[in-house]
Structure 1
Amino acid sequence: MQAADVRQWLADNGITSVQVQATNLDGTFIGKTLSCDKFLGALDQGVAFADVVFGNDLGNFPILGVAFPSWRGELEDIFLRPDLGTLCVWRPGVAAAIGDFWTSEGDPVGVCPRNLLRKVTAQAAELGYGVTAAVEIEATIFEEPVQEARAKGYQGLTPLGGTAGSAYVLGKSADWREYLEAVEERLRSVGIAWEAWNDEAAVGQVEVNVPVGDIVDVADRWARTRQVMREVAYELGHSVTFMAKWSDAWGQASHLNVSLADTEGNAFYSPEGASEVMRHFIGGVMAAMAGTTSLALPFITSYRRLVPLEGPPTTITWGHHNKSTAVRAVTGHPAYSRIEYRLPGSDANVYLVAAAVAGAGLYGVINRVEPPAPFAGMAWGLPEGSVEQVPATISQAAAALEADKILPEVLGEEFVTYWLGTRRWEWIAFHTMGGGDLDAGLTAWESARYFELV
């Protein structure tokens, strides 16, 4: 759409304000609400945001101890350019558009999550591939309104729907169904495609599935679906968290399904099983997996989820149709052949994980990287030293990313260097701002920092 078309669209839909939307590095949904005239005037240059968008942590402290890129350090403005393909009616009278961050000189901000994913998809297009994806969103809903949850320090909350902790239970209380049916209705009204929702393993836990599509569009829908889940919870007097581990109950994930498409269809499909393209894609993904862990498990609490036999992968393995491995290869179907990347927690920024996984996979295709042998059997509870383990802490994952040779090439040195600084800052924040003993179980500091913002 051109500016005149946008003005007419706003008028036709009775829009009086526009919300511009994005995520920061930590996956927090951020933005501004603009008048229609302000939005129309910002279509070319973008909407100004202070560089603290990517310069402050979740406690709103400046992140220090890392070299400042050119766009950071003087509270300089960076600009969110709306992607008009994402323009929608968010609620009556309010429109919304997702965007990417650019500098005042017109260069893409190198740490903008959506920019990074778009960069990878552009590379895929040059190779003749489209990148398709689907994502599973897990969250826990609580009976208490968010104001009460805050007053309680997010402790001692009552999971919504009763005490049943077995997956796929339909015998839930009416308030649980009311919440998810309201989410479903809101997603329809916004025009966000969804595929399924269900009870998950832990009490109060739900899963909402974003169906397959272009990987950037799917990441947009992931971000917006989570915001819808928050808004509906607040409107119904509940609270919700996407923490990977909000208590000693089972953790929460964001499984990412990825495949490549070419002019003949699914490039991962072969009648014999995995195609050559799929094999090399897995080769690249596996070669970068230790380093990608820092993106897939971004916070202190993320690593509390890595409990064997509770679902998340704990080893750097892949296997055919094997859900105990970190990468499950689904083969033998012309439409559904894909990899399921099972490592990310529900607190991961899907734009970043998708960019890393798709980028590493393309690196494998370009360089014909052969994967290790597929793992057969259960990949949990193995003898120590028999197979490489997923990095077990935020610091171990940062060290693995620093040693990685693929991701700096895929995502850029600026991003990788800056991300490493932010994760090391997160470790410092935990140990100096009240986190306490990492081995003593989930801390009040973690709940206060992550419950609402990840």
Structure 2
Amino acid sequence: MSELDVSTIDLDADVHSVRLEATNHEGCFLGKNLAPKKFCAGAASGFAMADLLFGLDLGNAPTFGFSFPDWRGHVSDLTFRPDMSTLVQWEPGLHSVIGDYWQADGSPVGTCPRNLTRRLVERLTTRGFTATIAVEIEATVFEESIQEARAKAYRDLTPLGGSAGTAYHLAKSKDWVDYMSAVARRLDEIGIEWEAWSDEDAAGQVELNLVPGSPISVCDNWARARQVMREVAFDRGHTVTFMAKPTAGYGQASHLNLSLKRDGANMFYAPDGPSTTMRHAVGGLLATIRGATSVMLPQITSYRRLVDMSGPPTTVSWGIANKSTAVRAVCGHPAYSRLEYRLPGADANLYLAVAVILAGVIAGLDGELEPPEAVSDLAWCVPDLERLPDTITKAAAALADDLILREHLGDEFVDYWVGTRRWEWMQFHTTGGDPFAELSEWESARYFEFP
């Protein structure tokens, strides 16, 4: 590829740096800042970044004990290629751009979340469908600054806005409202459209709903919106976490809504209930949901959310307008008929979650898989319903054995992901984790700030 010069890239004259942005498999938002001249010179060919960005765990230790893919060498370089359609002014003087990771031979890195999502979107397109997704971002905001939170080991922090934990509560103190208002303004400034924000169930907890869109664009907006929420918290002397369960109270989710279109028509709609396409999509999602759990609930703490009657799904189940099931079908409207996938925690990497969901949907469509009977009552505490894997190792084993997800996600991704989950289990049990604690100090230190 030929080099680009400044005239071919839309950089303002006062730009002093360009920030490269992408997630790793853990969902951490990574990158580096470049001088404008450096960025323009290498935008076409890409920029070298060490493979350790995929080879370190959340404690900054190299992961071992399983086979390495070809791209992982002795701290070899990968290539970050920017997607110029994502270039925005982040703030005066700073632009940012999202990209993907590639190997030296030009092939995609198998564990690059954005590349994996794109591959599944392309597979869906070859079947004549386009997907629209929407995401609900949940987070908890605390009064303390990030420095104060670190000094307290992320324990016994003060929820921003008071102790009220009822969803949609408007009797919040002004600091909570000011925080979310500032987040909304920053999203507007960088061009991320949002639909709503509100109080969630736990004290200090918020929910932010982004505008539905194409899978890649929504995932990009998700990554940037979380960065905005962090930066606004830091600027206002507070701290925010996307940890699956930052306190002993309620956990945090990242519900995903999905619809499929063909020739402009919503293929999930039927006048009398779920369409045939919707039923087959549900069939594929439930056929893969045990293996999918490993990606949707990626960390040790993720599984502490799986408590019956507390919100998250605990069973392999679906239902119409039933929020106690793992997959909720919204039916009866030509525009709004959709599936809500309720399993992901707030700590899930949305790119990977979307890729796994699309893999299940494609399998369901290809195989014309029929789902089991819809659950009409509460899906919690039902002996006849299969339980979801409830530990990081059970979920990893389910994914390792899932031939459908292997077919669509690839052996390279599945084997590497499973290896990193088993490594995470080992680190928890050998470096200070307490399996008998309601929430151990090890988990707070490891997950509060990351991903």
Name stretches of at least 5 consecutive residues in structure 1 with no aligned partner: none
1:413 aligns with 2:433: no
Which residue matches 2:161? Answer: 161
Task: Please tell me whether the aligned partners of residues 258 and 358 of structure 1 are also in contact (alpha carbons under 8 angstroms).
Answer: no
Alignment of 1:345-364 (within 5 A): 345-364=345-364
1:200 aligns with 2:200: yes
- In 1, Cα distance between the equivalents of 2:5 and 2:152? 50
SS at match of 1:11: coil
1:10 aligns with 2:8: no
1:342 aligns with 2:339: no
Which residue matches 1:173? Answer: 173
Q: Which moved more, 1:419-428 or 1:66-75?
A: 66-75
- In 2, Cα distance between the equivalents of 1:56 and 1:308? 34
Which residue matches 1:440? Answer: 437
Name stretches of at least 5 consecutive residues in structure 2 with no aligned partner: none
Q: Spell out, residue by residue over 1:101-127, the C-alpha distance to the aligned partner (whole angstroms, 9 max, x if none).
A: 001111100110000000000111111
Instruction: Specify the code of the residue in structure 2 equivalent to 1:186.
Output: R
Which residue matches 1:374? Answer: 374
Alignment of 1:56-67 (within 5 A): 56-67=56-67
Q: Spell out, residue by residue over 1:181-215, the C-alpha distance to the aligned partner (whole angstroms, 9 max, x if none).
A: 00000000011111100000010000000121001
Change (3 A) 1:333 1:412: same
Give the deviation of 1:7 after TM superposition: 4.5
- In 1, Cα distance between the equivalents of 2:321 and 2:270? 15
Give the deviation of 1:4 after TM superposition: 5.0
- In 2, Cα distance between the equivalents of 1:301 and 1:397? 13
Instruction: Specify the code of the residue in structure 1 equivalent to 2:156.
Output: G
- In 2, Cα distance between the equivalents of 1:45 and 1:67? 29
Q: Which moved more, 1:197-206 or 1:354-363?
A: 354-363
Which residue matches 1:297? Answer: 297
Give the deviation of 1:358 after TM superposition: 1.0
SS at match of 1:269: coil
- In 2, Cα distance between the equivalents of 1:390 and 1:326? 9
Task: Please tell me whether the aligned partners of residues 137 and 253 of structure 1 are also in contact (alpha carbons under 8 angstroms).
Answer: yes
Give the deviation of 1:308 after TM superposition: 1.1
Q: Which moved more, 1:304-313 or 1:38-47?
A: 38-47
- In 2, Cα distance between the equivalents of 1:219 and 1:274? 27
Instruction: Specify the code of the residue in structure 2 equivalent to 1:446.
Output: E
> When the two structures are superposed, what TM-score results if normalisation uses the length of structure 2?
0.98
SS at match of 1:162: coil
Task: Please tell me whether the aligned partners of residues 268 and 277 of structure 2 are also in contact (alpha carbons under 8 angstroms).
Answer: yes
Which residue matches 1:125? Answer: 125
Instruction: Specify the code of the residue in structure 2 equivalent to 1:193.
Output: E
1:28 aligns with 2:28: yes
Which residue matches 1:233? Answer: 233
SS at match of 2:403: coil
Give the deviation of 1:335 after TM superposition: 1.1
The alignment-based identity, stated in percent, is 55
Which residue matches 2:428? Answer: 430
Q: Which moved more, 1:373-382 or 1:311-320?
A: 373-382
1:135 aligns with 2:132: no
1:391 aligns with 2:392: no
- In 2, Cα distance between the equivalents of 1:8 and 1:101? 21
- In 2, Cα distance between the equivalents of 1:257 and 1:306? 20
SS at match of 2:111: coil
Moved over 3 A (4+): 2-8
Task: Please tell me whether the aligned partners of residues 4 and 42 of structure 2 are also in contact (alpha carbons under 8 angstroms).
Answer: no
Task: Please tell me whether the aligned partners of residues 138 and 208 of structure 1 are also in contact (alpha carbons under 8 angstroms).
Answer: yes
SS at match of 1:421: helix
Aligned residues: 449
